[in-house]
Amino acid sequence: MTSTSIIVKVPGPADFHVHLRQGDLCELVTPHVLQGGFSLAYVMPNLAPPIKNSDQALAYKSTLEQIEPGVQYLMTLYLSLELTPHEIRKAKQAGITGVKSYPRGVTTNSETGIESYTAYYPVFEEMQNQDMVLNLHGEVPSDPSTNTCVMNAERHFLKHLETLHRDFPRLRIVLEHATTKEAVETVKRLGSTVACTITAHHLALTVDDWAGQSFHFCKPVAKYPEDREALRAVIREGHPRFFLGSDSAPHTVNKKATATPNQACAAGVYTAPILLPLVAHLLESFGALDRLAAFTSGNGRAFYKVQTTNLRAVTLRREPFRIAESLSLKDEQVAPFWAGKELNWSIGSDDDLT
């Protein structure tokens, strides 16, 4: 007896939003990118301290290459008032791809709000000239006086995206980890220089899933069922400006667990070690398996202007794959998304050039 072998091939899977951390945790999680099927990682700069200039970015890249040389790392800088047009030109020459904006208050509790984007306009002007990419964490800080909270922080941000695109129409902008119907509609409506990443977990979760389950808590939070459906639909329709950025964000298990009434857990869902099988599993579940290669490689590579031909293909087989309960190295232990559950797809050999 022979059974039908169902396979799909993805040329050069590329994850356009990854957190690789520092120290022992970095050593643990960096190899997971390749293990999860990906050979390109767009690396976030929010270390402690943040990556604020080219020298720091190149040093970090070198560390990552020593840990796992099999991945192409695209580096970013952390948007701050220390960043100058001169530093942007230097970064471009150093091969750095983009600059990431974290709205103050969302991550740093600064009192200066998102309105301060105008302070960065000289930097954005130079980024536009140098054809660098601006990556936006699209949330405004919570503010009870304006009814702003985690559920509508992204919606309230969209006006800033529209303004930035209007003022810098040639600047390539990526709205990161979109979670709402309104975000999808806004990005579709804007011009060809505006794109959008979608995570794997936001294709699976709604608010119900992180209610009382801190391992499913991330920022932006997963929202309403109709928002999840909008994310699924834009992938199903094959829109070229939407692609995978996993926002795979490892935190050690002790920081994800909620053990006491006064300890809130760290925000982040960790998908890197299972990413390509997970995305295949999810896309198949909502009728978009035919979009897998475009969503996880072609669309993002085209927008970022990185290699799109002669890419090594990763083969996925439609065979059950049990997700590990946890992964550890030295004192660091992380739990992958859907720990212990079974996916419908497994990574096979990756020996084809397409």
Interface residues with a second copy (CB under 8 A) are 142, 144-145, 147-152, 206-208, 210-217, 221, 224-226, 228-229, 256-267, 335-341
Kindly report each contact of residues 224-230 with a partner whose C-beta sits within 8 Å and lies 24 or more positions away, as own/partner. 226/181, 227/179, 227/180, 227/181, 228/202, 228/203, 228/204, 229/181, 230/180, 230/181, 230/184, 230/185
Of the candidates 52, 202, 223, 247, the residue annotated as catalytic is: 247
Residue 17 falls in the annotated catalytic set: yes
Of 150 and 302, which CB lies nearer to a second copy in the complex structure?
150
The residue written with tokens 């020459």 in the block is: 93
- Assess contact for 316 and 10: CB atoms under 8 A: yes
Of the candidates 32, 137, 181, 223, the residue annotated as catalytic is: 137
3-state secondary structure of 100: strand
Nearest approach in angstroms of CB 200 to a second copy is 15
Residue 256 falls in the annotated catalytic set: no
The residue written with tokens 């990161």 in the block is: 176
Residue 177 falls in the annotated catalytic set: yes
What whole-number distance in Å separates Cα of residue 271 and Cα of residue 186?
Answer: 27
Of 141 and 300, which CB lies nearer to a second copy in the complex structure?
141
Nearest approach in angstroms of CB 268 to a second copy is 10
Of 180 and 297, which CB lies nearer to a second copy in the complex structure?
180
Nearest approach in angstroms of CB 151 to a second copy is 5
Give me the half-sphere count of Cα atoms (radius 13 Å) on the Cβ side of residue 151.
11
Nearest approach in angstroms of CB 254 to a second copy is 10
Nearest approach in angstroms of CB 224 to a second copy is 6
Of 91 and 222, which CB lies nearer to a second copy in the complex structure?
222
3-state secondary structure of 168: coil
Residue 247 falls in the annotated catalytic set: yes
**Which candidate, 354, 347, 352, 337, places its Cα nearest to that of 38?**
347
Paired strand residues for 133: 98, 172
Of the candidates 32, 177, 181, 223, the residue annotated as catalytic is: 177
Of 148 and 315, which CB lies nearer to a second copy in the complex structure?
148
What are the residue numbers of the active site? 17, 19, 100, 137, 177, 247
